[in-house]
Structure 1
Amino acid sequence: MRILHLSLGLPPFRTGGLNRYCADLIRQQVEDGNDVALLYPGEFSFFSHTKIVKQRDRRLSLYKIINPLPLPLTNGISEPGRYMKPCSKDIYRAFLNEFKPDVIHVHTLQGFHKELFEAAKECSIRMVYTTHDYYPFCPVCILLDHNNEQCDGNCPEKCVKCNTGRGLAKKQEFLMQSSLYMKMKYTKVFKYIRAFQRKKNQQKIRDTISPSSTASEYQKLLNYYADMMKCIDLIHANSEIALSAYKKNYADCEYKMIPITHAGLKCCALKNDKKATLDISFLGGIDPFKGIDVLLEALKIIDAQRFSNWNLWLYGADFTEVCKDHRFHNMGRFSQAEENKVWNHANHLLIVPSKCMETFSFVVLEGLTNGASVICSDLVGAKLFLPKENIFKHNDAESLAEAIRNYDCHVKISEDAVSIKKHSEAIMREIYRK
C-alpha cells in the first residue's frame, strides 16, 4: 500500500507523542513492505511561492513544504488571518498525482493548507485523521479556557480570551520553522527563547494585554479547519476521551476507536515491593494543566494521615520552586535515551494528574510496561488500561489521596496491547481499508 503521512516532522527536531507515534508507525509500515512517505511543513522563503521539495532520507520518502502555513504548536494564535492564507491547489494536485497514495494519514492540521485536503478529495484519495490533540476546534490544543476550566471547543468568544497575549509573532514563526532553528534548537540561546515564550503564555501576564483579534476572525479560522475536516473519511480516535470531544464538534464524521502505542515497549515484571519506600514519580511540565498542584496537595493529605514513607521524583522540567521537602527530587529533563533511569525504583507509583483532557498519554503505557503502578485522573485517555481504583477525579486532591492509599498494585498490560506491529496491522485493517 502507498501511504502518505502528514505530520510536523521527525524526531529529534519535532518532539512529543504525535511525532513519536507517527515516526514509529512509519518505520513499522516500511518494515511490513509498504511504500510510505511523510509530508511536513518546512521553512519560509521570500524567494519562491509554495512548493514541495523532496528531502534526502534513507528511511522513507520525505517531502517538505516550502512556504507552508505557520505552526502555532501549543503557543496559541493571536492573528488568525496568517493561518488560513490561500495557496494554489495545483501544487498539491501535482504532488498527489506524482506519489499516488492509496491513503493519506493526517496527524495534524498545523502548517497545511486547506487546498491540500481539497485536492485529495477531488482525487478520491482516502484520508484518515488521528486525534493527537484538539487543534481542529481549539487553537491552544488542550480544551481549557482562560479560567483553566473545561471547554467543549469551537467557541470563538472564548478563543479571543484564551489567545490574547499568546501566539508567535511573524518573525518568531519564520525563525522557528527555519533550517537554522533545526540545527540549533537545543542550544542555550533557543532554550532561552522557548522559556521566554512559555512565560509569556502565563495567564497573569496575559491578563494585562488587550485582544488583537475578534470573535468573527476566530470563527473564520474554526470554519477553515472544519472545511479541512469535512475532507476526512474516517477519524481514528485514540481513546474514549478523544472520541467524545470530537463527536461534540464533528457529529457527522465516521469514527473508529483504537488505542495507540509506540515502538520499544517491552513488558517488565511489576515493581511493588511493599517493604520499600514508595517512590512516587511525576513526568510532566510545570504548566498548571498538568496537575502537579493537585499531586502536592494530595501528598499533604496523606502526610496528615501518617502515610509519610514516600519520595517524590519530578521529571520533565526544572522543579526548583516546588522542591521544598527533603523527600522531593528535582530530576529535570531527560532524553529518550535516558528513559531507563526514570523507572529504576523498587516500589514505583507513577501519577498522571492531568486537569485537561489528554487524548491518550503515552506515559501511562510506559509506566505499566516498566513495572510501575499507575494512577491517573479521569481525563486521561489511557485510563482504559487501569482499574477504577487507579483513577481519581481530576482536580480533586482528596480523590487522589484516596487513590494513593488504595490503588491496585497488581495491574499488568499485555505485549499485544503495546506492540507497534500489532497496532500497525490494526490500523491497516480497520482504519485504512474502506
Structure 2
Amino acid sequence: MNILHYTIGLPPTRHGGSVQYAYDLMVEQSKTNNVFALICGDTLFRSSKCRFKRHSQNGNIQIYSLTDPLTPTLIYGVSDPDSQHRDIDFDREDIRNFIQSNKIEIMHLHTLMGLHKSIVEFIKGLGVKIIYTSHDFHGICPHYNLLNHTGTLCSKSDGASCALCNVNEPSDNFLRIANSSLYHFIKKRGIINAIKKLKKKSITTLSKKIDISDVDDEIIGKFNQLLNYYKEYFLLIDKFHFNSTQTKVVFNQFLSGIDGKVIPVVTSGIKDNRKPLNIHTRVTFGFIGSLNDYKGFPLLKSIFTQLYNDGYHNFKLKVYSGELIGFDLECPAIEYCPPYKYSEISNILSSLDCIIVPSKWYETFSLVTLEAMGHGIPVIVSNNVGAKDIVSQYNPYFIFSSSLDLKSKLQSILSNPGILESMNDTILSHSWNFDISKHSSEILEFYKSLK
C-alpha cells in the first residue's frame, strides 16, 4: 500500500505524543508498505506557492515538507481567525504529480494544523482516501482543549464563545516565529528562553475574568467563519480513527454524521515490562506532564497538601514537569524532579508505585497511562482521560469523577497500600496486547475497509 502521512513534524525537532505516534506508525508501516511523510514547513519565510518539497529520508520513509503552510497554533489559541484559513495558492501540477507518480492510496492526517483544506480537497479529488486520527480537538475548538474562558469544559462552539476564549492569545507573528526552523535552531542550542516564558503566560490567561464586552461583532463573525471552514474540512474525512471512546463521543457531539472506529494508540517505546509491585512503608506517586490547570496538577497538589495536613505522611509525590526542581513549599512530600530524557522513562516508572493523570480537559488518550501499565504500575485517571478505556478493563475503581472522589481513593490507598498491589496483580494476570506491530496491522486493515 502507498501511504502519505501528514504530521506537524518529526522527532526530535517536534515532540509530543501525537508526533511520536505518527513517526512510530510510519516506521512500522514502512517495513511492508511505501510510506511518505509530509510535514509542516517553515512558517517564518513564506513562499509564493504551496508545494511538496523533498526534505530528507529516514530509513524507508521519504519525507517532504509543505511550503507556505498555515501557521500551527500548537498549544495556543487563535487571536487572528483569518490567518488560520487565509487564501493560499498551491501548485496543483506539483501535487498531482506527487500523488499520481507515487500511486498514493491513503492520506493519513494526524493534525489539521498547517495544512490548508483546499489541498486536502484537491488530493481527495484524485481518488485518495482521507483518514484522520483524533489526537486533539483542533478544528472543533480554536483553543484546542475544549476548556472555555472560565476553565470549565465547553459544550458548544460558536463565534461568541470562541472569541471569549481566545481574546488574550498570542499573535500570528508570534506563532510564525515559534514554529519556524530558526526558532528550533536557536532552541536546540539553548540560546534563548523568551518564547518559552511567553508560552507559560499564554496558558495562564485561561482563567482571567472576561466577558462579551471584551470582543466586538467583527471578531465574532470571523470566528464563525473559521468554525464553518473546519466543518467543511471535516467533511473531507472518509473515516475517523478515534484513539478513545471519549474522543469519539466528543467529536460526535460537535460533528454530525461522521464515520469512524475506536482504536487505542501505542508507540514503539511501549512494551511489556510488567513486574510485581512491592510497596514498603511509603507510597510513591508520580505525576508526569505540565503543571497547567487543564492538566489537573493544581487540583492534585491541593489534595495531597490536604492529606499531608490531615496527618497522612506515608507518601511522596514525584512531579516530572521539566518546569520546577526541588520540594514544594506548602507540602514537603511533593518533590519536583529535574527534566528527563525519554530514554529514562522506564527507570522513572520503575521507581513509582502509582501514576496519577488528573486531567480537567478531555484528554484524547494519555500514552503515559499505557506506558505505566506496561511496567505493571497502577494508574489513577480522571473521568476526562481517554485512556480510561484501558484502565476500566483492569479495575474501574482507578477512575475518579470528582476531587472528592480522588481524595477518598487516595485516603483508602494510603490506609491500605495493598489496593495498589492488588491492581498490580490484575495487570500482571492479563495478557498484554499493546504493541506497535499489532497496532500497525490493525490500522492497515482499517485503511483497507475504505476500499
TM-score (norm 1): 0.92
Which amino acid in structure 2 is aligned with residue 57 of structure 1?
Answer: Q
Q: Counterparts of 1:56-75 in structure 2 under 5 Å? A: 56-59=56-59, 60-75=61-76
| Equivalent-residue separation in structure 2 for 1:392 and 1:173 (angstroms) | 36
**213, 217, 220: which is aligned to 1:215?**
220
- The answer as to whether partners of 1:7 and 1:22 remain within 8 angstroms in 2 is yes
3-state DSSP of counterpart to 2:193:
helix
- The answer as to whether partners of 2:297 and 2:358 remain within 8 angstroms in 1 is yes
Q: Which residue of 1 aligns with 2:179?
A: 177
Which amino acid in structure 1 is aligned with residue 40 of structure 2?
Answer: P
Gaps of 5+ in 2: 414-418
Per-residue CA deviation, residues 126-147 of structure 1 (Å, 9 max, x unaligned), is 1111100000110121110010
3-state DSSP of counterpart to 1:39:
strand
Structure 1 stretch 329-338 or stretch 12-21: which is displaced more? 329-338
| Equivalent-residue separation in structure 1 for 2:226 and 2:364 (angstroms) | 22
- The answer as to whether partners of 2:82 and 2:222 remain within 8 angstroms in 1 is yes
Q: Which residue of 2 aligns with 1:12?
A: 12
Structure 1 stretch 145-154 or stretch 209-218: which is displaced more? 209-218
Structure 1 position 77 matched with structure 2 position 78: yes
For residue 257 of structure 1, report the CA deviation from its aligned partner. 0.7
Q: Counterparts of 1:182-201 in structure 2 under 5 Å? A: 182-201=184-203
Structure 1 position 326 matched with structure 2 position 332: yes
Which amino acid in structure 2 is aligned with residue 175 of structure 1?
Answer: I
Which amino acid in structure 1 is aligned with residue 354 of structure 2?
Answer: L
| Equivalent-residue separation in structure 2 for 1:200 and 1:264 (angstroms) | 31
**160, 164, 171: which is aligned to 1:161?**
164
For residue 185 of structure 1, report the CA deviation from its aligned partner. 2.3
| Equivalent-residue separation in structure 2 for 1:318 and 1:47 (angstroms) | 36
Per-residue CA deviation, residues 351-381 of structure 1 (Å, 9 max, x unaligned), is 0110111100001011111231110101100
3-state DSSP of counterpart to 2:381:
strand
Q: Counterparts of 1:221-240 in structure 2 under 5 Å? A: 221-240=226-245
3-state DSSP of counterpart to 1:202:
helix
| Equivalent-residue separation in structure 2 for 1:337 and 1:181 (angstroms) | 25
Q: Which residue of 2 aligns with 1:316?
A: 321
* Root mean square deviation, CA, Å: 2.3
Structure 1 stretch 66-75 or stretch 412-421: which is displaced more? 412-421
| Equivalent-residue separation in structure 2 for 1:4 and 1:340 (angstroms) | 32
- Quickly say closer, same or farther: Cα 1:420–1:195, change in 2 above 3 A: same
| Equivalent-residue separation in structure 2 for 1:248 and 1:204 (angstroms) | 23
- The answer as to whether partners of 2:170 and 2:202 remain within 8 angstroms in 1 is no
| Equivalent-residue separation in structure 2 for 1:176 and 1:297 (angstroms) | 33
- The answer as to whether partners of 1:265 and 1:366 remain within 8 angstroms in 2 is yes
Q: Counterparts of 1:117-156 in structure 2 under 5 Å? A: 117-156=120-159
- What is the aligned length? 429
| Equivalent-residue separation in structure 2 for 1:415 and 1:182 (angstroms) | 41
| Equivalent-residue separation in structure 2 for 1:273 and 1:243 (angstroms) | 37
Structure 1 stretch 71-80 or stretch 273-282: which is displaced more? 273-282
Q: Which residue of 2 aligns with 1:254?
A: 259
Gaps of 5+ in 1: none
Q: Which residue of 1 aligns with 2:103?
A: 100
Q: Which residue of 1 aligns with 2:416?
A: none
TM-score (norm 2): 0.89
| Equivalent-residue separation in structure 1 for 2:345 and 2:175 (angstroms) | 31
For residue 416 of structure 1, report the CA deviation from its aligned partner. 4.7
**350, 360, 366: which is aligned to 1:361?**
366
For residue 22 of structure 1, report the CA deviation from its aligned partner. 0.1
- The answer as to whether partners of 1:106 and 1:127 remain within 8 angstroms in 2 is yes
| Equivalent-residue separation in structure 2 for 1:369 and 1:228 (angstroms) | 36
- Quickly say closer, same or farther: Cα 1:316–1:244, change in 2 above 3 A: same
Structure 1 position 424 matched with structure 2 position 440: yes
For residue 57 of structure 1, report the CA deviation from its aligned partner. 1.6
- Quickly say closer, same or farther: Cα 1:260–1:161, change in 2 above 3 A: same
- Quickly say closer, same or farther: Cα 1:121–1:350, change in 2 above 3 A: same
- The answer as to whether partners of 1:75 and 1:168 remain within 8 angstroms in 2 is no
For residue 271 of structure 1, report the CA deviation from its aligned partner. 4.7
Structure 1 stretch 111-120 or stretch 318-327: which is displaced more? 318-327
Which amino acid in structure 1 is aligned with residue 262 of structure 2?
Answer: M
Structure 1 position 340 matched with structure 2 position 351: no
- The answer as to whether partners of 2:362 and 2:385 remain within 8 angstroms in 1 is yes
For residue 433 of structure 1, report the CA deviation from its aligned partner. 2.9
For residue 315 of structure 1, report the CA deviation from its aligned partner. 0.2
- The answer as to whether partners of 2:356 and 2:380 remain within 8 angstroms in 1 is yes
For residue 322 of structure 1, report the CA deviation from its aligned partner. 7.4
- The answer as to whether partners of 2:9 and 2:19 remain within 8 angstroms in 1 is yes
Q: Which residue of 1 aligns with 2:427?
A: 412
For residue 175 of structure 1, report the CA deviation from its aligned partner. 2.4
| Equivalent-residue separation in structure 2 for 1:201 and 1:190 (angstroms) | 20
- Quickly say closer, same or farther: Cα 1:169–1:211, change in 2 above 3 A: farther
- The answer as to whether partners of 1:92 and 1:115 remain within 8 angstroms in 2 is no
| Equivalent-residue separation in structure 2 for 1:274 and 1:201 (angstroms) | 37
3-state DSSP of counterpart to 1:256:
strand
Structure 1 stretch 57-66 or stretch 196-205: which is displaced more? 196-205
For residue 385 of structure 1, report the CA deviation from its aligned partner. 1.6
- Quickly say closer, same or farther: Cα 1:294–1:378, change in 2 above 3 A: same
For residue 66 of structure 1, report the CA deviation from its aligned partner. 1.2
- Quickly say closer, same or farther: Cα 1:208–1:181, change in 2 above 3 A: same
**381, 391, 395: which is aligned to 2:399?**
391
